[in-house]
Amino acid sequence: MLTQYHIEIMLASLGGRFSPRAMSVIIQANVGQDRLAGQVGHDEFHFDNNAFEKTYAYIEEQRALVVSSLRSGDAKSAWQAFGRFLHSVQDFYAHSNYITLWVDRFDPSTGSGQAALPPPPEVDPLDPSLIRSPDLRSGKIYLPLDGLYFIKRLRPLILRLIPRDSHAWMNLDTPEQGFKFDYAMHAAIKRTVIEFEKTTEGFSGEMCRLFLDTQSK
Ligand SMILES: [Zn+2]
């Protein structure tokens, strides 16, 4: 997802919960994952290349870092680790076919007796049968073509050359990718709230105060 959409997701999901300075560190760490050095060789930052297990391990490693940083009183490191792994969970909806699998259960025309497609805010971000589905895939990165895809002028040519299981074909990074983009955005917003709740579940009062930075509000 492009930077502006990661920021939109962060503000829509967590905007009121943290102090402004905490939020700004979390967002910076989140969008920093898309820096050039974070794009190459870091499938786990973006759920690319079907690296599901590697990405889940990365998320839990960063979540553990949030907890250990807060225990040692280092709120800034906790905010950074939190922002980093939220980037991965948000990219899941833009880089995998989860949204396509979810949407395909419904009938877009409502003519066949299948249920009609619910509006984007009703998307389920964690349907267990889809999360574990053997059909779940994420876009493969074919270099250099997937890199050149970001040059808009070259896009039509790249799409003719690159396989269908590529990031270029599969991504829901921007509204230009069609109606499924809104579903990816809403799923990412809901999932971010779920990850916030999961991360803070066992926090002591002092850890909550440090993490949310309530005194500097
Ligand atoms: Zn990314």
Residues with Cβ < 8 Å from 161, sequence gap 6 or more? 145
Query: According to DSSP H, which parts of 72-152 are helical?
Result: 75-95, 98-103, 128-131, 145-148
Amino acid 20: pLDDT: 96
Instruction: Quickly list DSSP for 21-39.
Output: HHHHHHHHHHHHTTSHHHH
The pTM score is 0.94
Dihedral sign of CA atoms 90, 94, 95, 97 in order: positive
Amino acid 93: pLDDT: 98
Amino acid 217: pLDDT: 44
Distance 21 CA to ligand 1 centre (A): 23
User: Using the 8-state DSSP alphabet, how is residue 117 labeled?
Assistant: P
Residue at 115: amino acid letter:
A
User: CA 189, CA 181: separation in Å to the nearest integer?
Assistant: 12
Distance 11 CA to ligand 1 centre (A): 17
Distance 156 CA to ligand 1 centre (A): 22
Burial of 99 (0-12, 13-18, 19+ CB in 10 A): buried
Distance 136 CA to ligand 1 centre (A): 18
Q: Determine if the peptide bond prior to 128 is cis (ω within 30°).
A: no
Amino acid 72: pLDDT: 97
Residues with Cβ < 8 Å from 143, sequence gap 6 or more? none
Distance 114 CA to ligand 1 centre (A): 34
pLDDT (tens, 9 = 90+) of the chain, 217 residues, equals 999 999 999 999 999 999 999 999 999 999 999 998 898 899 999 999 999 999 999 999 999 999 999 999 999 999 999 999 999 999 999 999 999 999 999 976 656 667 889 999 999 999 999 999 999 999 999 999 988 998 999 999 999 999 999 999 999 999 999 999 999 999 999 999 999 999 999 999 999 999 999 974 4
Residue at 176: amino acid letter:
E
Amino acid 112: pLDDT: 65
The pair of structure tokens assigned to 118 is 């619910």
Those residues whose beta carbon sits under 5 angstroms from the ion ligand 1 are: 34, 46, 91
